[in-house]
């Protein structure tokens, strides 16, 4: 038709107008989107975005709970086992027969303090060596469930022999711990735990053994002895040899420490008061 605009031109003009309108609105949409993103980031914080990026959310990890619980159970189990061994040592100690000075001099006539002490150390070293060899022989064919019981039995047996040695060394050097049987027993247990002699001139050294400190020291000593005795469980009689050698060496080393401590405060036999009765009197 004359004077009318062709359809294609009108369509092209309308499309151009719409495109301009969209271009004008596009920056506004971009700015709005940027503000929304910034607002979300501000609400969550930078730590939240990082946690979301690496998957470490703020909540507790599902894997941390079981591992921590298992660690707590293991720690409580170790403490319970050590306390059980310590209780057995404390219960057995008063029942161990300890010879007093008069009995020792009668069994070793003509010998002085050092000679009798040498005899006592040799006998104790042979005793702990036999305990180590016996436990090692029992572990010739390893049975994992029985290993904790075998270690506990060896520690209790060695402790009994070394406790008797320490108590009789105090008798030989004229330094019997004062007090009743119970007080002397606890004092000698403290000496075994600390690898030293009892200072009878300081009542605090005896009184300290009566408190909770003694149990802590005994637990530490038992723990160290447990790790030291692990090679004794080697199979095929290897543990028997290792246990015998290591126990003999450790007992002699303990005896040397205690004797060096007692020599500094040794009381000659001639200056000792008259015997008050047998060592086991309460």
Q: How does 207-222 read in b/e, with b if 16+ C-beta sit within 10 Å?
A: eebeeeebbebbbebb
Tell me whether residue 70 is in a domain: no
Sign of the Cα pseudo-torsion (255, 229, 158, 222, in order): positive
Above pLDDT 90, what percent of the chain? Answer: 46
pLDDT at 242: 92
Q: In angstroms, rounded to a whole number, what is the distance separating the alpha carbons of residues 86 and 215?
A: 7
Q: What letter does residue 274 receive in the DSSP assignment?
A: P
Residue 211: domain span: 77-266
pLDDT at 40: 47
| Closest among 235, 230, 274, 280 to 102, alpha carbons compared | 274
The angle formed by the CA atoms of residues 242, 82 and 231, to the nearest 5 degrees, is 15
pLDDT band, very low/low/confident/very high, at 140 (cuts 50, 70, 90): confident
Tell me whether residue 275 is in a domain: no
Which spans in the chain are helix H? 7-44, 46-54, 64-92, 101-107, 113-138, 147-172, 181-194, 203-207, 212-229, 238-263
Q: In angstroms, rounded to a whole number, what is the distance separating the alpha carbons of residues 233 and 138?
A: 8
pLDDT at 55: 43
Tell me whether residue 17 is in a domain: no
- Is residue 217 within 8 Å of 90, Cβ to Cβ? no
How many structural domains compose the chain?
1
DSSP 266-277: ---GGGSPPP-S
| pLDDT digit string, tens, across residues 77-128 | 667 888 899 999 999 999 999 999 999 999 999 999 999 999 999 999 999 9
Range 8-15 average pLDDT: 57
Tell me whether residue 201 is in a domain: yes
Q: In angstroms, rounded to a whole number, what is the distance separating the alpha carbons of residues 10 and 175?
A: 123
Whether the pLDDT of residue 176 is over 60: the answer is yes
Tell me whether residue 4 is in a domain: no
Tell me whether residue 195 is in a domain: yes
Q: What letter does residue 5 receive in the DSSP assignment?
A: P
| Closest among 75, 52, 51, 55 to 63, alpha carbons compared | 55
| pLDDT digit string, tens, across residues 193-232 | 999 998 877 665 555 555 678 888 999 999 999 888 888 8
| pLDDT digit string, tens, across residues 31-72 | 445 445 445 444 444 444 444 444 444 444 545 455 666 556
Q: What is the average pLDDT score of the chain?
A: 78
Sign of the Cα pseudo-torsion (268, 270, 274, 277, in order): positive
């Amino acid at each position: 038709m004359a004077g009318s605009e062709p359809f294609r031109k009108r369509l092209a003009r309308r499309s151009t107008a719409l495109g301009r309108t969209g271009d004008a609105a596009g920056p506004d949409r971009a700015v709005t989107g940027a503000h929304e993103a910034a607002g979300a980031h501000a609400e969550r914080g930078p730590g939240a975005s990082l946690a979301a990026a690496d998957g470490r959310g703020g909540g507790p990890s599902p894997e941390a709970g079981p591992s921590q619980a298992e660690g707590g159970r293991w720690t409580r189990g170790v403490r319970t086992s050590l306390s059980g061994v310590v209780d057995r040592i404390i219960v057995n100690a008063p029942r161990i027969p300890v010879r007093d000075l008069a009995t020792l001099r009668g069994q070793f006539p003509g010998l002085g303090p050092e000679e009798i002490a040498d005899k006592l150390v040799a006998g104790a070293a042979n005793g702990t060596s036999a305990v180590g060899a016996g436990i090692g022989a029992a572990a010739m064919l390893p049975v994992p469930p029985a290993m904790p019981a075998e270690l506990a039995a060896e520690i209790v047996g060695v402790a009994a022999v070394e406790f008797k040695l320490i108590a009789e060394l105090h008798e030989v050097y004229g330094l019997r711990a004062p007090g009743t049987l119970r007080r002397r027993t606890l004092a000698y247990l403290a000496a075994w735990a600390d690898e030293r002699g009892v200072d009878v001139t300081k009542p605090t050294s005896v009184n300290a053994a009566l408190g909770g400190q003694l149990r802590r020291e005994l637990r530490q000593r038992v723990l160290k002895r447990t790790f030291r005795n692990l090679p004794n469980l080697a199979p095929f009689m290897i543990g028997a040899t290792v246990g015998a050698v290591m126990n003999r060496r450790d007992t002699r080393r303990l005896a040397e420490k205690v004797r060096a401590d007692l020599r500094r405060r040794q009381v000659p036999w001639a200056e000792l008061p008259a015997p008050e009765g047998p060592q086991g009197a309460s």
